[in-house]
Structure 1
Amino acid sequence: MEAYDILREMERHKQAVVLATVIHVEGHAYRKQGAMMLLMTDGSMFGSISPGCLEADLSGYAPLVWESSKPQMVEYDMRPADDFGWGETIGCGGLIRILLEPVTGELLVQLLAIRAGLERGEAVRLKRVFRKGYSDIVYKLSGAYEAAEEESGRKMPIPAYSHLFLPKPRLIIFGANPDAVPLAELAAGSGFRVVVTDWRDAYCTPERFPGAETIAAFPQALVQQLALRPDDYVVVMSHQFDKDADFVRGVLNGQLQYLGIMGSRVRTEKLLDGAERPPWLHYPVGLNIGSEGPEENAVSIVAELIRTKRGIRTDGAWNSPVDPMRDGPSCRPW
């Protein structure tokens, strides 16, 4: 669950809400430092910080934290070798400290400001300075690098925790064919902000792609309208050679995080027509898992998107040595 989704859900709730944030981890844990979830005082939850073993216990703290209007630290130590409860049950063996904060007052104001920044595509850093243990916290917002530069090279005189909130990466799908439906759904569930584009109005509709943004325009106009950024991900899959070529030519004039083109290697070489191949270009799109059909192809593509997002690189994208003659997902040879 992305921080963006947590903040969006928080804004929708009108009832009492407690924010749970993992601020310290030692050893192995299911979620890492910075993971968050929401605990409602009626017992409902949104998000997770474990495989399901800590949430029920944490939920019991929510009414007390809300009523006290004071943050509280909860610690789960699963490191002892003779612990046959927590550690063995969840497959973890670490120490986890979770900060519980009532979402009200200054914290609510700051979280809403963070949500607005993420909507604008901005990275925002929230710094918590702890006073009187963890029961009194001073909150401060800054730009993505401002706080990091301020804190580098010197030891903080008082305990503090700083977290960088990153906007959800944008995935642009060019081609609103039926095989784009499972890709849009899986990508949205994997932490991407999905935008589906096509030149055919009847294909590119919110009804066919619920939860995704939809833009209908011809390729040249789309490139301008999208205002592509270096952190964008793009998958080209309209299956219309001329339209794909027009869109790819416009996209290659900029800089992206990822560009994947669906189709065989031979087709894509013709489509590129001698254009320079940047390192962020991937074809055939997706990881080679032997996928067949729209659903499996979506898994293949999203797996490659996640690998790129996590910074796991190969020796080369477009000239990868893995099975260079294979066709791309869901495509006939060209």
Structure 2
Amino acid sequence: MEAYDILQAVESNAQARVLATVIHVEGHAYRKQGAVMLLMADESSLGSISPGCLEADLSAYLPAVWESQKPQMVEYDMRPADDFGWGETIGCGGLIRILLEPVAGELLVNLLVVKASLDRGEAVQLLRIFSDGYSNITYTLCDPNDDVSTDRHSVYTSLFTPKPRVIVFGTNPDAIPLAQMAVSVGFRVVVADWREAFCNAERFPESETVVAFPEQLVEQLKLNAQDYVIVMSHQFEKDAAFVRGVMESSLHYLGIMGSRDRTEKMLEGLERPDWLHYPVGLNIGSEGPVENAVSIVAELIRIKRGVRTTGEWGSSAAMGRDIQSCRPW
């Protein structure tokens, strides 16, 4: 689970009690330093820091941490040479230190400020400055570019970056599985269209929706260099107007659904930046809305992870042809 989802739960759920953060790892671990999990008052949890071997034990600390309103450090040494009781049979095998903090007071205030910053598209660092071991923590927020000169042994820094935003232009039925999959793999999804009857929370319950004509959408969306945009309304004039508008911005990714000939016609007179991809999606021979959604989301993940392939404009689920759910052009 993304840190943003944890922050969202902190903001909206009064059951949130204890934040668990992996602050040190030696050797092999299922999750790396910085992984977070939220323990709830009803004994449920959000997120994970192990393949299931530590969560139940951590939950046992919840009452004491919450009642004392004091942070606590928990250490699990699962290196086989030191502890055969844990060992690698549980899929871990390393040393993990986990900071447990009551979600209240100064921490709660700072987490809400972090959430607001991410909603504005701004990255932020949360500094924990320790004293008296780990029993007292002072919290400070700063810009990610700030030089943190505090003694590294008494401070832990968490960097929070905005959840990558995927904007889907077009609300035909093939947009529904695409939006669902993009949300499920950790993107913040905005679905945009000029038709309110198709662009609403009922059809896209886990996504944000924006209703406006292409020319107004570009201004309303406030595009930035971290955005992923997918154009798939299947109406040439609307797609073309939206593409021309968004290409005035610098994006992280722009994918256009449809045949190469259709898109070339749409792009006449425009430059071709390296973040432009068409036809959209990885070439997996996909057919139909669900398979096409798989190919598109796979390409989004590839770009997000920084994995490059040759011929970006041609690395498509529909190389040289229309994707099945598109109209022929």
| Short-chain TM bin | over 0.9
Match of 1:240 in 2: 235
Distance, in Å, in 1 between the alignment partners of 2:153 and 2:81 is 33
Q: Deviation of residue 80 (structure 1)? A: 1.8
Match of 1:150 in 2: 148
Distance, in Å, in 2 between the alignment partners of 1:52 and 1:157 is 31
Instruction: Check the 8 A contact 1:16/1:66 in 2, yes or no.
Output: no
Matching residue's letter, 1:191: G
Match of 1:222 in 2: 217
Instruction: Check the 8 A contact 2:281/2:318 in 1, yes or no.
Output: no
Q: Deviation of residue 181 (structure 1)? A: 0.7
After superposition, give the CA deviation of every residue in 1:42-87 in whole Å (9 maximum; x if it has no partner): 3111111122221111111111111222111112222225855544
- Residues 61, 278 of structure 1: CA spacing in aligned structure 2 closer, same or farther, 3 A cutoff? same
Tell me if 1:35 matches 2:30.
Answer: no
Match of 2:99 in 1: 99
Equivalent residues, number: 329
Of 288, 294, 297, 1:299 maps to: 294
Match of 1:55 in 2: 55
Match of 2:192 in 1: 197
With 323-332 and 173-182 compared, the bigger mean Cα shift is at 323-332
Of 155, 159, 162, 2:154 maps to: 159
Identity of aligned residues (%): 70
Matching residue's letter, 1:128: R
- Residues 229, 80 of structure 1: CA spacing in aligned structure 2 closer, same or farther, 3 A cutoff? same
Distance, in Å, in 2 between the alignment partners of 1:68 and 1:168 is 33
Q: Deviation of residue 208 (structure 1)? A: 0.7
Instruction: Check the 8 A contact 1:169/1:192 in 2, yes or no.
Output: yes
Distance, in Å, in 1 between the alignment partners of 2:64 and 2:193 is 51
Match of 1:178 in 2: 173
Match of 1:26 in 2: 26
Match of 2:257 in 1: 262
Matching residue's letter, 1:30: Y
Q: Deviation of residue 314 (structure 1)? A: 2.9
- Residues 121, 328 of structure 1: CA spacing in aligned structure 2 closer, same or farther, 3 A cutoff? same
Match of 1:120 in 2: 120
Matching residue's letter, 1:150: V
Match of 2:141 in 1: 141
Match of 1:283 in 2: 278
SS of 1:296's equivalent in the other structure is helix
Q: Deviation of residue 319 (structure 1)? A: 4.8
SS of 1:318's equivalent in the other structure is helix
SS of 2:309's equivalent in the other structure is coil
Which segments of 5 or more consecutive residues in structure 1 lack a partner in the other structure?
none
SS of 2:229's equivalent in the other structure is strand
Distance, in Å, in 2 between the alignment partners of 1:297 and 1:228 is 25
Instruction: Check the 8 A contact 2:279/2:314 in 1, yes or no.
Output: no
SS of 2:313's equivalent in the other structure is coil
Q: Deviation of residue 257 (structure 1)? A: 0.6
Matching residue's letter, 1:283: Y
Q: Deviation of residue 209 (structure 1)? A: 0.7
Match of 2:308 in 1: 313
Distance, in Å, in 2 between the alignment partners of 1:71 and 1:85 is 27
Distance, in Å, in 1 between the alignment partners of 2:316 and 2:16 is 54
Distance, in Å, in 2 between the alignment partners of 1:66 and 1:239 is 53
Of 212, 215, 219, 2:207 maps to: 212
Matching residue's letter, 1:156: D
Match of 1:231 in 2: 226
- Residues 46, 322 of structure 1: CA spacing in aligned structure 2 closer, same or farther, 3 A cutoff? closer
Distance, in Å, in 2 between the alignment partners of 1:90 and 1:280 is 42
Instruction: Check the 8 A contact 1:122/1:167 in 2, yes or no.
Output: yes
RMSD, aligned CA:
2.2
Distance, in Å, in 1 between the alignment partners of 2:279 and 2:249 is 20
After superposition, give the CA deviation of every residue in 1:235-288 in whole Å (9 maximum; x if it has no partner): 011111121111111111110011111122232222212421111111121222
Matching residue's letter, 1:190: V
Q: Deviation of residue 3 (structure 1)? A: 1.2
SS of 1:182's equivalent in the other structure is helix
After superposition, give the CA deviation of every residue in 1:139-197 in whole Å (9 maximum; x if it has no partner): 11111211xx234xxx8264211011111121110000111011111111222111111
